[in-house]
Amino acid sequence: MADKAKRIFLTEDEMPKQWYNVRADMKIKPAPLIHPGTHEPLTVEQMSPIFCEELCKQELDNDTRYIDIPEEVLEFYKIFRPSPLIRAYQLEKELGTPAHIYYKFEGNNTSGSHKLNSAAAQVYYAKKQGLDSITTETGAGQWGTALAMASAFFHIPLTVYMVKCSYEQKPFRKSVIQSFGADIIPSPSDTTEVGRQILAKFPGTGGSLGCAISEAVEKATHTPNSRYVLGSVLNQVLLHQSIIGEEAYIQMEKAGEYPDIVIGCAGGGSNLGGIMSAFMRDKLTGKKDPEIIAVEPASCPSLTRGRFAYDFCDTGHVCPLGKMYTLGSEFMPSPSHAGGLRYHGMSPIVSQLYHDGYMRAVAVEQTKVFEAATLFARTETILPAPESSHAIRAAIDEALKCKETGEAKTILFNLTGTGYFDMTAYQAYHDGKMSDLIPTDEDLEKGFATIPNVE
Amino acid sequence: MADKAKRIFLTEDEMPKQWYNVRADMKIKPAPLIHPGTHEPLTVEQMSPIFCEELCKQELDNDTRYIDIPEEVLEFYKIFRPSPLIRAYQLEKELGTPAHIYYKFEGNNTSGSHKLNSAAAQVYYAKKQGLDSITTETGAGQWGTALAMASAFFHIPLTVYMVKCSYEQKPFRKSVIQSFGADIIPSPSDTTEVGRQILAKFPGTGGSLGCAISEAVEKATHTPNSRYVLGSVLNQVLLHQSIIGEEAYIQMEKAGEYPDIVIGCAGGGSNLGGIMSAFMRDKLTGKKDPEIIAVEPASCPSLTRGRFAYDFCDTGHVCPLGKMYTLGSEFMPSPSHAGGLRYHGMSPIVSQLYHDGYMRAVAVEQTKVFEAATLFARTETILPAPESSHAIRAAIDEALKCKETGEAKTILFNLTGTGYFDMTAYQAYHDGKMSDLIPTDEDLEKGFATIPNVE
């Protein structure tokens, strides 16, 4: 029976040809990025020395509801898209739940994550603008891998600044990025002024994402005809990731269902933003009212314990300020295994929607996340990334509630990545050596003290 | 345009419901496995203390052309099958070849390989027979992972003997197998008599596949209601892998093409056997005459430099003898990075067909293989396993011949695995530290001396 299919595919012809800009339907728009010095909203002219021009326009466009995906980007998408929507029959059976659990699987590409959706777009626009090179930073490595793949495809040189401790802890990520032909430099490095300053001040430091961002921005702005690209948080990134939700929306229709609950993990917001936007459209336009759940790590709880305020996007304070839920740019999340969720802030779009009551947020503990990940692997056979496993945890919790109440709710979550490069984390879990790393109120207060006072 | 699609999917309904037994169409059947003591062909009764009964029957069945895939195995297949057939447009463009290159991608599952096709079947039959546990060995780890996944799914305990040096060199493989709930023991171990003997004789040895097989067989035969399972070489395994070629055959029809050349890498033969069987049927029945190419590593050249003779399947000489192309059971392949191809022998089916002129074989050097793998990754965005990259090398070489001659041949190869756990090899290639490890004639003579004299 077709309606019993485990995997619901779309043909290439059925793949959406436009990104959906959720800002167009938001009654209260996300607050604009502001200049760190003047606190004035940034213009395209001010942003374009750092970012590609077309991306600056997308960043500031709160009005255009649908934006055509360029033909060349569609061609690239067809390598790994449309991605399957999968009914988790075995997980449902194992849980004994009446709930119908679906997941959108974005891990079927070498980057192992959804990051490729925005990487393809950003690299294409860089190429179209005639740039000679681009730069970026990477922490856990998914974004760096995705961008290296897209850069190889569109033939544009890429330099990746990888946080030094990750560079050393995850040599395989480095090798993958090199396999795609990108230059990779452990940060802090002596290739930039800011890197040399940090090295002089903190010899032997393992670096940080904030420092790597600062180096990548400096490298781009000090190299002729080069620009910097970023993999999350920004409005443009959520725009590109909307393809996930647009596909899932059609696939749920094919399955003859509509989700009562839509779940995504939330670090910078690109994951949740991607899966939710098509369903958020229904909420914003009053067509339907699915429950939307952001899942964050208890170790880095920006939505559930953070403040809604203008804050620096980076620890180095070289980037613009964004209004978002934040723990403070100097909050140092514990070294959890979900590197992709260890960010002090949150996408301004997700933040505004959360603030306005369009979604709820839950924080989950690391050990419970790996318990869910292992159960998922054994039943559904996919080994999930720690980040995505936060969404699995929440989906299982909702399905178990259904078991208690007897409700057959339809649950959709975003499975954005695979865990092949996270086996150290799995081993720590198997060996009983994993803890939950929940910050104390004092830890949070220290972070909040670093939030600037901006109206 | 539909005929320009990059990825050709089948629906679950279109997935073949039967395995194809190529032996039924072979004029000269593969020689039977014989008893190591009596040299008499093995019966189901003699094999069934080691293997599941249904699998013994499949092993000896040279006549039944199509065998129904059990409903439960089909259900399991639907988690990761049908697998996509992909047109390598970008690779074609990069090579500037008029050839049409297609690949069947079997890497979209957590085992990272096609091994799951046979693992699902073997574990299902073990469960159906009411066994309490199964055992196996693993070298590089793909087979161990696949079997652990299937064992978790069908709820049957599994013990994996992993070659000790691999166990230590690839701790992540071990963690993946443990994530699926299997017991994993470095071999040689003190859990078996043969393991203890080897440890006493060679303290500190890193083990070998032959030793791990011996331990797994002893463990199975000394444990009540337990059996041993094997991931390649055997007729039953090629039967299960035939699903690859059956799907590819339908998908090529959908693409409106028929392959002039079908390519698979060859270690034990499950990979090549899987992709070729549907097309070999056309050759054996005189319907069509595609060229079939087995690609082996120059470091372990069983087909191109080996002998066609009865030989031991394992170095420990506890298993039956098979008639095959072999380098001798004590030939020690150099430590190349394609662990899955480091086998002294070859499937009796592949061996017989090769002997009878139904395919040709090429041996390729490791550095050229990684050159091809890197080019493939950068154009097609999939990071291939070293084993599969042997097929990529041959496909590229054929496509380059087409460029010279101007022929627009249609080339199909089997991309059975991803390289996420092989980054040490990629790094060695990037660093220029990889060599080709080609055995000398003297090396081969030493191996040949260990082939028993059996008529």
Average pLDDT for chain A: 94
pLDDT at B395 over 60: yes
Test B9 with A13 for CB contact under 8 angstroms. no
Contact B381/A80, CB-based, under 8 Å?
A: yes
Q: pTM of this prediction?
A: 0.93
CB contact under 8 A, B110 and A381: yes
Search chain A and give the residue with CA nearest B182. Answer: A378
CA atoms within 13 A on the CB side of B212: 28
Q: Is residue B315 in a domain? A: yes
Spatial distance between the Cα atoms of A315 and A331, rounded to a whole number of angstroms: 9
Q: How confident is the model at residue B2 (pLDDT cuts 50, 70, 90)?
A: very low
A176 has a chain B CB within 8 A of its CB:
yes
Nearest CA in chain A to B87: A79
In the stretch 16-55 of chain B, residues with CB closer than 8 A to chain A read: none
B377 in A contact zone (CB under 8 Å)? yes
pLDDT tens digits, A155-197: 999 999 998 988 887 888 899 999 999 999 999 999 999 999 9
The two structure tokens encoding residue B370: 């990684």
pLDDT at B376: 97
Q: Which amino acid is at B97?
A: T
Contact B383 A179 (CB under 8 A): yes
Residue whose C-alpha is closest to residue A173's, from A159, A188, A189, A162: A162
Closest CA relative to residue B280, chosen from B251, B230, B238 = B238
Please tell me the distance in Å from B376's CA to the nearest CA on chain A: 10
Mean pLDDT of B103-109: 93
CB contact under 8 A, A79 and B380: yes
Encode pLDDT of B262-289 as tens digits.
999 999 999 999 999 999 999 999 999 9
Residue A16 CA to chain centroid, in angstroms?
Answer: 20
Mean pLDDT of B167-171: 83
In a domain, A168, yes or no: no
d(CA B213, CA B165): 15
Number of domains observed in the structure of chain A: 1
What is the band of A316 on the pLDDT scale with cuts at 50, 70, 90? confident
Per-residue b or e along B315-334, where b marks 16 or more CB atoms closer than 10 Å to that residue's CB: bbebbbbbbbbbbbbbbbbb
Q: What is the CATH number of the domain that holds A97?
A: 3.40.50.1100
Q: Where residue A2 falls among pLDDT bands split at 50, 70, 90? A: very low
- The reply to whether A173 falls in a domain is no
- At B61, is the pLDDT very low, low, confident or very high (cuts 50, 70, 90)? very high
> In this predicted structure, what is the pLDDT of residue B135?
98
Looking at the complex, does the CB of residue B435 fall below 8 Å from at least one CB of chain A? no
Residue B28's SS3 state is coil
Any CB–CB contact under 8 A between B182 and chain A? no
A90, A149, A376, A383, best to mutate vs chain B, most B CBs in 10 Å: A383
Which residue in B has a C-alpha nearest to residue A145's C-alpha?
B381
For residue B168, what pLDDT is reported? Answer: 85
pLDDT at residue B3 is higher than 70: no
Residues of B in contact with A109 (CB under 8 A): 381-382
Single-letter residue type at B104: K
Query: What pLDDT digit, counting tens, does each position of A62-102 carry?
Result: 999 999 999 999 999 999 999 999 999 999 999 999 999 99
Does residue B105 belong to the interface with chain A, where contact is any CB pair within 8 Å?
A: no
The rounded distance, in Å, linking the Cα atoms of A392 and A396 is 6
Check if the beta carbon of residue B162 is closer than 8 Å to that of residue B182.
no
* Chain B residue with the nearest C-alpha to that of A422: B172
Do residue A378 and residue B152 have CB atoms under 8 angstroms apart?
A: yes
* Cβ B179 vs Cβ A374: under 8 Å: yes
Question: Which residues of B are less than 8 Å from A375 in CB distance?
Answer: none
Amino acid making up residue A315: T
Indicate the burial class of B405 (C-beta count within 10 angstroms; 0-12, 13-18, 19 or more).
exposed
Would the CB atoms of B381 and A423 count as touching at under 8 Å?
no
Confidence of residue A435 (pLDDT cuts 50, 70, 90): confident
| pLDDT tens for each residue of B353-380 | 999 999 999 999 999 999 999 999 999 9
| C-alpha to C-alpha distance for A146 and A110, rounded to whole angstroms | 8
pLDDT of B241 higher than 90 = yes
CB atoms within 10 A of CB B406: 8
Are the beta carbons of B139 and B160 closer than 8 angstroms? no
User: Tell me, what's the pLDDT at B1?
Assistant: 35
Task: Using the predicted structure, report yes or no on whether residue B386 has a pLDDT greater than 70.
Answer: yes
Q: How far apart are the first and last CA of chain B?
A: 58
Q: Would you tell me how many other CB atoms lie within 10 Å of the CB of residue B348? A: 25
Closest-CA distance, B421 to chain A, in angstroms, reads 8
A181 contact B CB<8A: yes
CB count in 10 Å sphere of residue B148: 30
- Distance spanning both ends of chain A, measured CA to CA: 58
* Residue B123 resides in a domain: no
Range of the domain at B274: 7-15+69-112+235-448
* pLDDT value at residue A1: 36
Average pLDDT over residues B79-84: 93
* C-beta separation of A447 from A328 below 8 A: yes
Structure-block tokens of residue A7: 């995997």
From CA A280, how far away is CA B206, in angstroms rounded? 56
Cβ pair A269, A233 in contact under 8 A: yes
Q: How many beta carbons lie within 10 A of that of residue B38, not counting itself?
A: 9
Q: Nearest by CB to B381, which of A11, A13, A79?
A: A79
Contact status of A449 with chain B (Cβ, < 8 Å): no
Question: Is B1 within the bounds of a domain?
Answer: no
DSSP 8-state class, residue B243: H
Query: Rg (Cα) of chain A, in Å, rounded?
Result: 21
Task: Give the residue on A whose Cα is nearest the Cα of B376.
Answer: A180
Chain A contacts of B5, Cβ < 8 Å?
A: 11-12, 78
Q: Cα B292–B293–B294 angle (5° rounding)?
A: 130
- Which residue in the set B108, B380, B427 is minimally distant from A108, CB to CB? B108
Statement: residue B18 has pLDDT above 50: yes
Test mutation, B175, B254, B427, chain A, max A CBs within 10 A: B175
Q: Tell whether A377 is within 8 A of chain B (Cβ).
A: yes
The residue with greater pLDDT, B171 or B366, is: B366
Q: In this structure, is the dihedral angle defined by the CA atoms of residues A316, A317, A323 and A329, taken in order, positive or negative? A: positive
User: Is it the case that residue B78 has pLDDT exceeding 60?
Assistant: yes
Q: Which of A214, A144, A212 is nearest to A182 (CA)?
A: A144
Q: B195 to chain A, minimum CA–CA distance in Å?
A: 26
Residues of A in contact with B372 (CB under 8 A): none
Contacts of A110 in chain B (CB under 8 A): 377, 381-383, 418
If you average pLDDT over residues B133-143, what whole number do you get?
Answer: 92
Q: Is A383 on the interface with B (CB under 8 A)?
A: yes
- Distance from the Cα of A414 to chain B's closest Cα (Å) equals 17
pLDDT tens-digit series, residues A369-404:
999 999 999 999 999 999 999 999 999 999 999 999
Question: Is residue A206 assigned to a domain?
Answer: no
Does the pLDDT of residue B199 top 50, yes or no?
yes
For residue A398 the two structure tokens come to 């909702």
For chain B, positions 304-363, list CB contacts with chain A under 8 A. Answer: none
